[in-house]
């Protein structure tokens, strides 16, 4: 590894860029609850300070990552057409498959356990709102932005900026879901449906953060450096 991964250099690098180039870094950031997807343009030191975290502990966790042989798999090395295809099949399609089941599972848990004070009341409505907003957002990426990127058109900055703002909205909905579910913490005696709901919703949250990260920090800056710098 190069000197860019010394402790001093790491603390100055932006969290979105670290997540994009260091395999496993996004999992470290998730564990420390550092927002590397919607607010990736922040140096690690500042992101740690914002959350009252010890930056040394984060740097140690990042340096402990075993990156041997994995660099070729990082998204930054993919050409844009391949990256777009991965975003579409691995994330857009996966979100579309996840929501219907999660919404119906959530309605069931909310109804069956309505007397339990720990029940995530309103989760199904939040998931429904997120599914609808994401569907509209992903459809515009698929029908407008991605084809324009594949034709290597210029003048995409405004569209990209608008989609970045929508990512912020998705992130805000995610925070609401995490608060409502106490970070997907099950109460004692929770039934299997409740456990399945939290496991699958946590997985969706993880996927959505990776998805937004790939767009905000890897794909979009290739086509709109100015809009990327402003986000």
Where does this chain bind Fe ion (CB under 5 A)? 141, 215
Q: Tokens representing 125? A: 């409505």
Comparing CB distances to Fe ion, the nearer of 62 and 83 is 83
Comparing CB distances to Fe ion, the nearer of 41 and 193 is 41
Q: Phi first, then psi: what are they for 29, rounded to 5°?
A: -65, -40
Residue 112's Cβ-side half-sphere holds a number of Cα atoms within 13 Å equal to 11
CB of 70 to Fe ion, least distance (A): 24
CB of 197 to Fe ion, least distance (A): 24
CB of 192 to Fe ion, least distance (A): 32
CB of 208 to Fe ion, least distance (A): 9
Comparing CB distances to Fe ion, the nearer of 39 and 107 is 39
Comparing CB distances to Fe ion, the nearer of 31 and 225 is 225
Q: Tokens representing 26? A: 């996004």
CB of 29 to Fe ion, least distance (A): 19
Comparing CB distances to Fe ion, the nearer of 48 and 208 is 208
Give the count of beta carbons closer than 10 Å to the beta carbon of residue 134.
Answer: 21
Q: Show Cβ contacts of residue 177 under 8 Å, excluding neighbours closer than 6 positions.
A: 123, 126, 127, 130, 201, 205
CA distances for 105 relative to 93, 99, 115, 171, angstroms: 19, 10, 17, 22
């Amino acid at each position: 590894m190069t000197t860019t991964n010394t402790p001093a250099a790491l603390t100055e690098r932006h969290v979105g860029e670290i997540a994009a180039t260091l395999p496993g870094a996004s999992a470290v950031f998730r564990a420390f609850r550092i927002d590397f997807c919607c607010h990736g343009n922040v140096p690690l030191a500042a992101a740690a300070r914002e959350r009252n975290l010890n930056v040394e502990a984060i740097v140690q966790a990042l340096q402990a990552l075993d990156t041997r042989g994995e660099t070729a798999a990082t998204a930054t090395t993919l050409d844009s057409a391949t990256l777009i295809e991965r975003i579409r099949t691995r994330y857009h399609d996966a979100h579309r498959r996840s929501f219907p089941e999660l919404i119906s599972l959530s309605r069931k848990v909310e109804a069956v356990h309505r007397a339990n004070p720990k029940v995530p009341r309103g989760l199904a409505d939040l998931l429904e709102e997120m599914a609808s907003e994401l569907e509209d957002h992903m459809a515009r990426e698929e029908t407008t932005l991605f084809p324009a990127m594949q034709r290597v058109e210029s003048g995409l900055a405004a569209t990209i900026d608008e989609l970045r703002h929508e990512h912020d909205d998705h992130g805000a909905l995610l925070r609401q879901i995490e608060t409502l579910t106490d970070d997907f913490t099950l109460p004692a005696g929770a039934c299997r449906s409740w456990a399945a709901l939290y496991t699958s919703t946590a997985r969706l949250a993880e996927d959505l953060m990776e998805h937004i990260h790939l767009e905000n920090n890897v794909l979009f800056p290739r086509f709109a450096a100015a809009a990327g710098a402003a986000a």
